[in-house]
Amino acid sequence: MICTGLIGSMSVFYVEFMYAFPESKTKVALVPSLANGIYDIGGVVAGLMIDTIGCRWSMFIGSFLTCIPILCSFMCNELVGFIILLGIISAFGSSIVMLIGMVRVGQTFGTEHQFGSIFITGAHPSGFIVFPQIMPYIINAYGWRGALFILSGITLQILPFGFLATSTIGERTAIAPAEGGEGGGGDEGGGEEGGENQRNKSCLKKCPLDVELLASPKFQFFAISSAINWGSTYMVHLLIVDFAVARDYDLVDGASLLTCVGVAALVSRVFTTFLRKIKCKNIIWYVFFSIAAGVVHACIPLAPSYNALVAQILGIGCLFGCRFSFFILTLLEMVPVRKYSQALGYCLSLWGIAVSSTGSIVGALNKVQNGYDFSYATGGLAGAVCLIPLAVYLYRSRGRFDLNFPSTSQSEIEIRS
């Protein structure tokens, strides 16, 4: 929640940076755009760290990479410094922490207890609920530099929370399949499972990247289409505050729109648990909510008033929440548990690449179009259209989208059955 709250706060600081630095919107937009992008792009490196040095050491590194750059930015006077410190380094540290939480819950509960995986995805909208609401008031009281100083102290709390969350986990446990045993696994597992863990560690030393996963055409098809959809519709998180300010609403009203996204996305987690009771595959739900999110995103410029805009943002927040929940559930079903950390990290990295380019592109279009209406409309339509090939494939294959990995262990096959 703290990490995603940090990323959500960048949209609030974006407005302040516009007044503080005589730079173009394209350049200033690099701060929130890169922050949101690197938050996802770091997934590949974070996945390798978790598989190599374990959750606890990864959490230690991630927490300091998140906190220290924010503290340094308190003394920074150049926009380039904020781009590097906030947009790249701090966001990468947050990426490590975020992926640790997702991977640990996914590997511990897997497909048997999917509510755990749905529940932790609620941390993302929770951060968007809390931080965009409190940051404008902190900025008004202490200035944006004082707000950065306070934010650095808040993010440092990741360290004790992270150590508490991993206190019962042995080192390098993230590479151990967690479907067996009572305590979530670790290197203590014996027999055939323990031998497989040792083989996994040996393979990680020789080739840290999972070549078998990256060579799967279906997985690449799924990952790339989801990245285009995510990047095209991410302007709601990146620039909705400035969109509101451009329509003559104040900073608090703009930040409240971000909170609305978080509230709706959090509530949608409960909605997702009810949808799972309907006999429909997770990937079909994912495609449905992804296309719907793109359509609603394209209609945002049509809002005639602030109340209508709030209603649209609540709707798209709910769609976003369902989309992300079913994305996680789909990925858990698609790949073996031992490949989950790298599969999730790879997908998030593609999302980050898409999001990183969104801010600058929209900033350039804003200069030409003198507004965000065109960008929101085309982004939403692109996000909806990119999922149509996957929807057609699912229709023709009657909802089947299986990834067959020859090295899938018999224990995982039995668990999935």
Query: Coil, strand or helix: which one is 86?
Result: helix
Global confidence as pTM: 0.67
What is the C-alpha separation between 168 and 163, in angstroms, rounded? 9
| Rounded (10°) CA dihedral 58, 3, 365, 386 | 70
- The residue with greater pLDDT, 316 or 26, is 316
Higher pLDDT, 26 or 393: 393
Q: Is residue 223 part of a domain?
A: yes
CB atoms within 10 A of CB 236: 25
> What total number of domains does the chain contain?
1
Within-domain flag for 184: no
The per-residue pLDDT for range 42-59, each reduced to its tens digit, is 777 777 787 778 778 888
Q: Which position has the higher pLDDT, 264 or 356?
A: 264
Residue type, 328: I
pLDDT digits (tens, 9 = 90+) for 65-85: 999 999 998 888 888 888 899
What lies within 8 Å, CB to CB, of 278 at 6+ separation is none
φ/ψ of 367, rounded to 5, equals -70, -35
**Residue 186 belongs to some domain of the structure:** no
CATH of the domain at 53: 1.20.1250.20
User: Residue 223 is part of which domain span?
Assistant: 2-179+191-416
Give mean pLDDT, residues 313-319.
89
- The Cβ-side half-sphere exposure at 16, using a 13 Å CA radius, reads 22
- AA identity, residue 409: S
Q: What is the pLDDT of residues 150-160, one digit of tens each?
A: 999 999 998 88
* 185 domain-assigned: no
Residue of 61 and 335 predicted with greater confidence: 61
